[in-house]
Amino acid sequence: MNFLDNFITSLMLIRVTDIVDIAMIAYVVYKLFSILKNTRAEQVLKGLISVLIFASIADIMNLNTVSWVMNQFLTVSLVFIIVVFQPELRTGLERLGRGRSIFSGDKNKKDEDSINELVSAMSSLSRQKIGALVVLERQVGLSDIIESGTMLNADISSELLINIFIPNTPLHDGAVIIRENTITAAACYLPLSTSNTIAKELGTRHRAAIGISEKSDAVVIIVSEETGNISIAENGVINRYFDEDSLRIRLKKELAERREEDE
């Protein structure tokens, strides 16, 4: 009975600010796990939480030596995490501030035309088994990637995209960057993913697509030179075996989600 009375008394002492405080911490922890999911930092975060729990238990039990060791360890670990996992932390901070956009986001026919031209080009390249790599910029800017290529600033057209990726032409080696409804640059160099979970049959083109999707919120379309298969990389995850219809549906879904968020 005393336990129940103490429990009720404790509940009565809880203030609204305490509830808000707990909810904010819970949300931050949830977002951290969401952002770092399937990255190298995920396991480190779990380990760090385990150490924090152990340190709290040591404080409660007045284990002074253990508490001192844990505090020193946490101090060193913080510096270690910032240095070693700088790419993941940067990506996480970018994701916290990003929205979801694709093409211009304008409610007009130009967006639909851009999708149709892009799908037509990817389907044609797929049938001919011509490799292609197209990056759709969203909220995270890709200016540094664009600067590595050749500026075009051309309207999206299937003919231009097909010509860019024809083998042995000046711009075929590298990625095309699309910003809003414009082919901004071609022959751009992308960072390669260092993930060891990528299927071995996927080559440099797919690894580059995954790499840029890990470091930004871009949507990346890949056409395999060996098989002609169309894939999409997003948030470090690659989905394969798109055909013309499923690719169009996927891109329209991205555009629809952007419009819903604007409204």
Judge whether residue 93 has pLDDT over 50: yes
Q: According to the model, what pLDDT value does residue 92 have?
A: 60
Q: According to the model, what pLDDT value does residue 42 have?
A: 62
- Write the pLDDT tens digit of every residue in 186-217: 999 999 998 888 888 889 999 999 999 988 88
What is the C-alpha separation between 99 and 105, in angstroms, rounded? 12
In DSSP notation, 102-142 reads -TT--SSHHHHHHHHHHHHHHHHHHHHT--EEEEE--SS--
Judge whether residue 40 has pLDDT over 60: no
Q: Which residues pair with 221 in a beta bridge?
A: 134, 232
Judge whether residue 69 has pLDDT over 90: no
For the chain, what is the total number of helices (H) and then of strands (E)?
10, 7
With residues binned 3-state (H G I as helix, E B as strand, rest as coil), the percentages for the chain, rounded to 5, are: 55, 15, 30
Judge whether residue 49 has pLDDT over 80: no
Contacts of residue 126, defined as CB under 8 A and 6 or more positions apart, other chains included, come to 223, 228, 229, 230
Tokens of residue 62, six digits: 């007045």
Any idea what the Cα angle at residue 254 is, between residues 112 and 139, rounded to 5°? 105
Judge whether residue 100 has pLDDT over 50: no
Indicate the range of 31-45, 159-173, 182-196 predicted with least confidence: 31-45
Q: According to the model, what pLDDT value does residue 104 have?
A: 60
Q: To the nearest whole number, what is the mean pLDDT of the chain? A: 81
Tokens of residue 136, six digits: 């759709």
- pLDDT band for position 116 (50/70/90)? very high
DSSP-derived 3-state class of residue 202 = coil
- Write the pLDDT tens digit of every residue in 232-263: 999 899 999 999 999 999 998 877 766 555 55
- pLDDT band for position 143 (50/70/90)? confident
Could you identify the residue written with the tokens 């924090």?
Answer: 52
Judge whether residue 156 has pLDDT over 90: yes
In DSSP notation, 36-100 reads HTTSHHHHHHHHHHHHHHHHHHHHHTT-HHHHHHHHHHHHHHHHHHHHHTHHHHHHHHHHHT---
Overall pTM > 0.85: no
